[in-house]
């Protein structure tokens, strides 16, 4: 039984930018149908020579998002986040000033920051000297600027923040939004993450640590293969996701249908190594236990688990071990979306939470693509080959980041009067 002593937090708007599109139904269809967004690195792309394959997002002109000279140094991660926020606001039919007091509207949109823009300006300074550096560099690349520019655009004057927990940042932004609403610090929170890691220096550091999938240039759609015996690394990808969160009672008052209710969250730290997970999965398991406890649920209540699984040797095994520790005797169906999308770093957590919400809403659980031969060390109830039709009430989504940051979210059917899904 879920915790009834506090308000339900619901998702009333979703905006996504991914390698398989921007429309929510299109993205979910790709996940369920196994239509990959991973491609061989295009000729002329800045990361050519550094990445064999990638999950490339849609081409979006920064000048269309932010007209004027600032657009020339507006990092792609901010562009993605602004586009996702615009979609989410429209999807929620939310107008600040009409539906919510500006000082009761909060923003938590995260990301690694505009490292590609910083790199390009370092090159410019080297070539042209100090006066070649753009005066718009800082507002175009700082990791808080997605939140700041979204707040400016929509007049969101309440609490704002940007979370720097690497690949867990998107999920942790959602958790922070839940905390803000539960504590009545705001009435609406925009939460999410934008990432744009497809540039040479970041790609090269992943390559040099042997974290990237390799040898798949002629078969790019097979490169990302979570839990599979042939997996040999992750596929870097770009994208963004933004949710509009509010209390169910407030959504009901303005007649808005919800996608899902966020019932619980948990967070822990491995305290083990800067880049590799704790092999015994102990801290990841505790993150899931805390999310279940926060939701007032037990392991047997979870019908689907959307895994962080990035297609790395150690990471997939550690997460499988953690899942086994929590769900022994009550194993839910498990899949990872990254076989289709690649790894969008912190943005993956938001996009995967959206996929989890749709899986619960439709009773359709997407498979892990390219899972041809499951690794025996990843002994789970894998969804393979095709989507699994299975009505469920609750699901859990994991996001784990460099530094040992672990975040787990529990989602369920919307508890608003109106639902985005036909009964």
| Bridge partners, residue 290, by sequence | none
Q: Where are the alpha helices (DSSP H) in 209-362?
A: 248-253, 282-295, 313-327, 338-341, 346-362
For residue 308, indicate whether it is catalytic: yes
Q: CA 364, 367, 368 angle in degrees (round to 5)?
A: 155
Catalytic residue among 308, 362, 382, 405: 308
End-to-end CA separation in angstroms for the chain: 22
For residue 343, indicate whether it is catalytic: yes
For 147, other C-beta atoms within 10 Å of its C-beta total 29
With b for 16 or more beta-carbon neighbours within 10 A and e for fewer, the 269-296 pattern comes to: bbebeeebbbeebbbbbbbbbbbbebbe
User: Do 276 and 263 form a contact (C-beta atoms < 8 A)?
Assistant: no
C-alpha span between 97 and 311 (Å, rounded) = 45
For residue 263, indicate whether it is catalytic: no
Tokens standing for residue 360: 């619960």
Catalytic residue among 80, 193, 263, 343: 343
C-alpha span between 79 and 114 (Å, rounded) = 10
C-alpha span between 341 and 328 (Å, rounded) = 29
Catalytic residue among 32, 80, 167, 362: 167
Q: Which residue has the tokens 């009333």?
A: 12
* Residues annotated as part of the active site: 167, 308, 343
């Amino acid at each position: 039984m879920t915790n009834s002593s506090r308000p339900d937090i619901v998702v009333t708007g979703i905006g996504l930018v991914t390698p398989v599109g921007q429309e929510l139904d299109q993205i979910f269809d790709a996940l369920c149908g196994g239509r990959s967004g991973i491609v061989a690195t295009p000729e002329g792309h800045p990361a050519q020579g550094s990445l064999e394959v990638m999950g490339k997002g849609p081409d979006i002109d920064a000048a269309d998002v932010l007209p004027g000279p600032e657009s020339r140094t507006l990092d792609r991660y901010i562009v993605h986040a602004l586009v996702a926020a615009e979609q989410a606001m429209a999807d929620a039919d939310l107008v600040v000033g009409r539906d919510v007091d500006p000082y009761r509207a909060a923003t938590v949109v995260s990301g690694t920051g505009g490292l590609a823009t910083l790199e390009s300006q370092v090159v410019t300074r080297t070539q042209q000297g100090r006066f070649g550096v753009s005066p718009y560099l800082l507002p175009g690349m700082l990791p808080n600027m997605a939140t700041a520019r979204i707040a400016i655009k929509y007049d969101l004057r309440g609490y704002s923040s940007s979370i720097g927990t690497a690949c867990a940042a998107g999920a942790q932004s959602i958790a922070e939004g839940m905390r803000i609403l539960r504590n009545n610090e705001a009435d609406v929170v925009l939460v999410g993450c934008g990432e744009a890691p497809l540039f040479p220096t970041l790609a090269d550091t992943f390559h040099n640590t042997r974290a990237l999938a390799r040898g798949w240039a002629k078969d790019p759609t097979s490169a990302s293969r979570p839990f599979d015996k042939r997996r040999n690394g992750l596929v870097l990808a770009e994208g963004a996701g933004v949710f509009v969160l509010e209390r169910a009672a407030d959504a009901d008052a303005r007649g808005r249908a919800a996608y899902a209710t966020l019932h619980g969250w948990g967070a822990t730290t491995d305290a083990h190594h800067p880049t590799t997970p704790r092999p015994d999965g102990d801290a990841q398991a505790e993150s899931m236990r805390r999310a279940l406890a926060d939701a007032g649920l037990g392991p047997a209540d979870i019908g689907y688990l959307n895994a962080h699984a990035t297609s790395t040797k150690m990471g997939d095994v550690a997460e499988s071990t953690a899942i086994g520790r929590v769900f022994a005797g009550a194993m839910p169906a498990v899949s990872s979306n990254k076989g289709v999308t690649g790894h969008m770093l912190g943005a993956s957590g938001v996009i995967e939470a959206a996929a989890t919400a749709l899986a619960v809403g439709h009773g359709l659980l997407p498979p892990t693509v390219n899972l041809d031969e499951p690794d025996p060390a990843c002994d789970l109830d894998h969804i393979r080959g095709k989507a699994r039709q299975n009505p469920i009430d609750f699901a859990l989504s994991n996001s784990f980041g460099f530094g040992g940051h672990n975040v787990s979210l529990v989602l369920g059917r919307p508890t608003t009067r109106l639902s985005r899904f036909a009964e």
